[in-house]
Structure formats: structure tokens, C-alpha cells
Chain A
């Protein structure tokens, strides 16, 4: 296989088409048409030669069958119909050659039956064993064509189904035994089979470890490739995110708030990338929507918001309202409380969803909310009530504020 491939590489380098079957132009498997294209000969000449060889004890026939099995179909002829009327030409050629052969036999030339049939059987066996490895179209020639073809063989070997391979191997073994017998190397057919079995066993012992090693190398090679790919992904991500942020931070080192916000945003992005499967998750659950809202408020008002969630469930209309109300509460805390951080805790339970937004800022007297603080009344309490939810505000001057939001189950 390897040498065949490298010959092919060489052929391509010389500007000739590689050997490919052309069923659309051929009479049977398109082997002759392929050979003619490869060697730049007249197709009919090649066919006559082939049939002639076929007549010589059937060896040519076996070679044809082997080529049919082994040579891949040319890509340009794939899926195209076989050209019609070919059978007439095929019949003529075969008949004439058969006549020639008959004459030759008469003259006492040609090989005997005892050689012909074993060869046919053996070649069929070989075809059975090798066929699956060349079945799929070979990969486009590349610089490492030789190695690739070896991999192709191994990959194919993994796909071989055992019965076919065993049948093929038995056929080959039988053929070899019969040939040995007919050449009088072994005196009885049984002994010949024994000799072949021993040779095959030794050969198997030699070749199996090699195959195992190759397969293992292939596995580790693939693992290395995957690792390399992963590393490249990580490098690309770090370049696009962390390095950019670090550059920005260097530029803005005079503005501590800006720097803190940049670092915080980068931290958030990196965390979600590390823990949540690389891509930013869509905000289609309560927890992720709250996290996203918190991130937006953090970004806008430059204040860290610690988000802790327990449980999760998909968003619906009233939960969306809850998220919006929570966002408003976080915005209020960021804008008015003077606190240096905000805590958000959300718990999704059987009875419903509860959200707490807490700051440690100046607080206020809940009885004396100024009328212009519409955010609290409309955006939080009004919104929650419209969705049969609940909003409570606990605050005292100097002790910070906590907004509690609730939506029932269902």
C-alpha cells in the first residue's frame, strides 16, 4: 500500500493522472479504462491485452479482479452511469481471446487446472481481506501522503468486519496450501494445509504486535493533536480577552475605578468561560438572567455585585418581571446607597422564587420615601404586584437596605 501510494505521488508529480478505475467508461469495473488513461494508451488495446493475460491460466483474470477490488474509483467518474453498449464489445473481445486460448491449449501451452483454481481462490481471498481498506475514496494527496495512507489502512483495519477477514484469510491459506501441493512441495493436501497454518501463525505473531503498536501510536498521535488544538484555543481566547484587558488597564492606570471595573469584567468573562462551557450562556433561566442583569449594573455603575443562586428554572413572564425588578433594585443600591458592594441572593424552590438584594449603604426611612423615587414604587413594587408577586423593602438609616422579591410557583 505504502509503495503504491508513493508511486502514485510520483506519478502526480510527473503530471500524469493517478491509477483510478473509470466505471463510466469501462466494460466491467473500468480497470482497463483506468490503466489506459494512466499509461496514455488506447483503451481497446489495453482490453485485448487484459483478456489475453486472462487467458493465460486465469492469472490475468485474477489480476483484473484484484485491481477491481483495490483500485479506487476516479472521483470524476463516481456516480455516473456506465456507458451503454459496452457489453457487445466485451463479448467480442472475450470470444476471440477464448478462441485463441483454446488453440493454445490444444498446442499444450497454458497452465493446468491445479494452478488456475488455487490462484483464483487466493486472489478472491486477498480481495476480501483488503477491499474495505480501499473502499472509501482516498484522501486528497498531501505532503505526507505516505503516512496518511498507512493511517488509512489502519483506520480501515479497525472497520474490517471479522467474518469477511477470516473467510478471506482461509481462502488465501487454502490457495497457498493447494499450490504447495500441486508443486509437490508437500506430499498430501493435509500436510500442505498444516505447513500453511504454521507459517500463517508465525507470520501473525510477527505482524500483530506491529499492528497493535501502530494503532497505539495512532491513538497517542491523535491525542497529541487534540491537546495541541485545545492549547491553541486557550491561547486564542486569552489573547482576545485577558491580554486586551491588560493592555487597557495599563493605559488607564491613572483611573482606579475604571481599572477595577475592567478587571472585574474580565474576571467575570473568564469565569464563565472556564466554568460554563466556553461560550457565554443564553440568559434563558432565572439564575443566568440575574447574573447577566447584575453584570450590566456592575458595568454601568462600577460597583461589585456578588451573585449567589440556589436552584434554577426556565424564565417565564412573571420571572422576567422578577429579574427586571431585581435589576432595578441593584441599580438603586448602586446609585443611592453609597455602599461599596451589593449582594444578590436568589433561591428557586418548590414554593417559588425569592430574590434578595442587599447593600450596606446609608439606608433610608421606608415611611418617608420621597415621591420622586419612582423606581422603587413603579419598577419594583408595581411590577411585582402586576405579576402576583411580592416586593418588600427593609431599610433603616445607617444600616443599609434589603429588597426582597417573591414570585409564587406556577
Chain B
């Protein structure tokens, strides 16, 4: 792998120890160009470094990861965000995805796996952990009638296709994209396309469950 091909990464987390740990684990696999411990620092660092991918902690003072994404949205070439969290709470995860993150992984992920996820996100793909896949299946499980009424929403956005569901179930079972492609007899590219479609629905759908999670999270961040 040439030095140029390595994605440029900024790590945003309010725990200095954790930033150092992630940097050490990623080692040479990616090019860590900066790190930040507050929302304000993060916005400045990202604007200065223009990284490909931002590894973003969900829980931070002053609005958390979602706030960083919102404040970077105006940039000329906004980076891609990968949420990294110890939180298992659906509302945290869904909120940061709906704010614009391209994926979500837990902090216990190994270095090489994380580097792989970073690479995937930098290429524009979505990265779903088994847990996120589970949340999404849960959120889209109920009948689509539970949509918010006065949203005029696109019905297509409010449910998953059987194929998307099948892909998500395999992710939840711990399958890699490659293994999913082989099991379902499709190409890896198709698997990626399905996951990206799910991500889009997750971000744009006005399904009751998703909105509720986002609203709950919003209230929590107002509190803190």
C-alpha cells in the first residue's frame, strides 16, 4: 500500500487516553493527521486538516458527535464520519447516524478491523456493526403505518426491501461483506450497495421509531 492510498484520519474523543490508544492501534494502517478533545477543537482541526475520515466519539460535552457533524456540514468538502462509541443505546447510535455518520462501530473493535472500517468509509461505503444492524432491523420491524402523519414522507424510505433485510440479518449474525456476498450469491459491490441504501433510509426516513430515538437523544444533549 502506498503512502498516498492511506486514508487521512482525525480522531475526535474527549478522552485523551482513548485517542492515544486508538492512534497506537491503528499504527501504520491509516494516516492519523490530527486529534481533538472538544467539539470546537474538532471543527477547527477538521477545517485545517481536511481529513478523509473523522473517527467520532458519540458522547462528548456540548452536543457530542452529532454536533461536530452538523457544524462541519457547511464545509466545501466535508469529511466522512465514522462513529466510535462505548454506548449500546439505540438512541445514541441512531442519532449520530441520522446526523450524517456513515457508520458505527464499538470501541472494543480491534485495530485492523477499525482500519478496515475506516478504509471502507473513506471510499463512501457504509459500515454497520452487528449491533447497529440489529437496531435497524428493530426500528424497521414494525408495520410502516406507524409513520409520523404530517410528514408527507416517501413510503419507500420507511421500509426495507427483503434483500436489504437479508443483508442486515447476516451482518447481525457476524458475517463479513465477502461472506454475505458468497452466501447470497451476489457480488461484494451489491452487498455494499444494499448497505448504503439502508444507511440512506436510516438518515432520511421519518419512521416513527427513528424520529423518536433522534428526539430523545436531542433532549438528552440539551440537558447536558
Residue positions of A touching B, CB distance < 8 A: 271, 275, 304, 306, 308-311, 343, 345, 347, 349, 356, 358, 360, 402
Contact A347 B169, beta carbon cutoff 8 Å: yes
Q: State in angstroms the CA–CA spacing of A311 and B137 once bound together.
A: 9
Contact A310 B141, beta carbon cutoff 8 Å: yes
Contact B174 A310, beta carbon cutoff 8 Å: no
Within 8 A of A (CB), among B92-141: 108, 130-131, 133-134, 137-138, 141
Partner of A402, one of B88, B108, B173: B173
Among A271, A275, A306, A345: residue with most chain B CB under 10 A: A345
* B172: A residues at CB distance < 8 A: 308, 310, 345, 347
Q: State in angstroms the CA–CA spacing of A310 and B108 once bound together.
A: 21
* A343: B residues at CB distance < 8 A: 130, 173-174
A312 nearest CB neighbor, chain B only = B138
Within 8 A of A (CB), among B154-213: 169, 172-175
* B133: A residues at CB distance < 8 A: 308
Contact A306 B174, beta carbon cutoff 8 Å: yes
Contact A345 B88, beta carbon cutoff 8 Å: no
User: Taking the nearest CB of chain B, how far is it from the CB of A264, in angstroms?
Assistant: 9
13 CB contacts below 8 A, A to B, read A271-B88, A275-B89, A304-B108, A308-B172, A310-B134, A310-B138, A343-B173, A345-B134, A345-B172, A345-B173, A356-B173, A360-B174, A402-B173
* B175: A residues at CB distance < 8 A: 358
Partner of B130, one of A271, A304, A308, A349: A308
Q: State in angstroms the CA–CA spacing of A349 and B142 once bound together.
A: 10
Q: State in angstroms the CA–CA spacing of A199 and B175 once bound together.
A: 82
Partner of B131, one of A308, A349, A360: A308
* A345: B residues at CB distance < 8 A: 130, 134, 169, 172-174
* A271: B residues at CB distance < 8 A: 88
Contacts A275-B88, A345-B172, A356-B173: A306 and B130 contacting too (C-beta < 8 A)?
Answer: yes
Contacts A275-B88, A345-B169: A311 and B141 contacting too (C-beta < 8 A)?
Answer: yes
Residue positions of B touching A, CB distance < 8 A: 88-89, 108, 130-131, 133-134, 137-138, 141, 169, 172-175
B132 nearest CB neighbor, chain A only = A308
Among A308, A311, A360: residue with most chain B CB under 10 A: A308
Contact B137 A310, beta carbon cutoff 8 Å: yes
Q: State in angstroms the CA–CA spacing of A280 and B161 once bound together.
A: 37
Contact A358 B173, beta carbon cutoff 8 Å: yes
B136 nearest CB neighbor, chain A only = A310
9 residue pairs, one from A and one from B, having the closest CB atoms: A343-B174, A308-B134, A345-B173, A356-B173, A345-B172, A358-B174, A310-B137, A308-B130, A308-B172
Q: State in angstroms the CA–CA spacing of A345 and B134 once bound together.
A: 8
* A309: B residues at CB distance < 8 A: 134
User: Taking the nearest CB of chain A, how far is it from the CB of B135, in angstroms?
Assistant: 9
Contacts A306-B130, A306-B131: A347 and B137 contacting too (C-beta < 8 A)?
Answer: yes
* A347: B residues at CB distance < 8 A: 137, 169, 172
User: Taking the nearest CB of chain A, how far is it from the CB of B91, in angstroms?
Assistant: 10
* B169: A residues at CB distance < 8 A: 345, 347
Given contacts A275-B89, A343-B174, 5 further A-B contacts (CB under 8 A): A308-B130, A311-B138, A345-B130, A356-B173, A356-B174
Q: State in angstroms the CA–CA spacing of A308 and B173 once bound together.
A: 8
Q: State in angstroms the CA–CA spacing of A283 and B130 once bound together.
A: 23
Among B130, B169, B173: residue with most chain A CB under 10 A: B173
A348 nearest CB neighbor, chain B only = B141
* A358: B residues at CB distance < 8 A: 173-175
* A349: B residues at CB distance < 8 A: 141
Q: State in angstroms the CA–CA spacing of A275 and B93 once bound together.
A: 14
Q: State in angstroms the CA–CA spacing of A306 and B109 once bound together.
A: 11
* B137: A residues at CB distance < 8 A: 310, 347
Q: State in angstroms the CA–CA spacing of A345 and B89 once bound together.
A: 17
* B138: A residues at CB distance < 8 A: 310-311
* B108: A residues at CB distance < 8 A: 304
Q: State in angstroms the CA–CA spacing of A310 and B209 once bound together.
A: 14
Q: State in angstroms the CA–CA spacing of A310 and B173 once bound together.
A: 11
B88 nearest CB neighbor, chain A only = A271
* B174: A residues at CB distance < 8 A: 306, 343, 345, 356, 358, 360
Q: State in angstroms the CA–CA spacing of A238 and B133 once bound together.
A: 31
User: Taking the nearest CB of chain B, how far is it from the CB of A256, in angstroms?
Assistant: 15
Q: State in angstroms the CA–CA spacing of A271 and B86 once bound together.
A: 10
* A310: B residues at CB distance < 8 A: 134, 137-138, 141, 172
Q: State in angstroms the CA–CA spacing of A98 and B174 once bound together.
A: 98
User: Taking the nearest CB of chain A, how far is it from the CB of B142, in angstroms?
Assistant: 10
Q: State in angstroms the CA–CA spacing of A42 and B130 once bound together.
A: 85
A399 nearest CB neighbor, chain B only = B179
Q: State in angstroms the CA–CA spacing of A360 and B173 once bound together.
A: 12
A349 nearest CB neighbor, chain B only = B141
Q: State in angstroms the CA–CA spacing of A345 and B131 once bound together.
A: 9
A343 nearest CB neighbor, chain B only = B174
* B130: A residues at CB distance < 8 A: 306, 308, 343, 345
A359 nearest CB neighbor, chain B only = B174
User: Taking the nearest CB of chain B, how far is it from the CB of A359, in angstroms?
Assistant: 8
Q: State in angstroms the CA–CA spacing of A232 and B63 once bound together.
A: 26
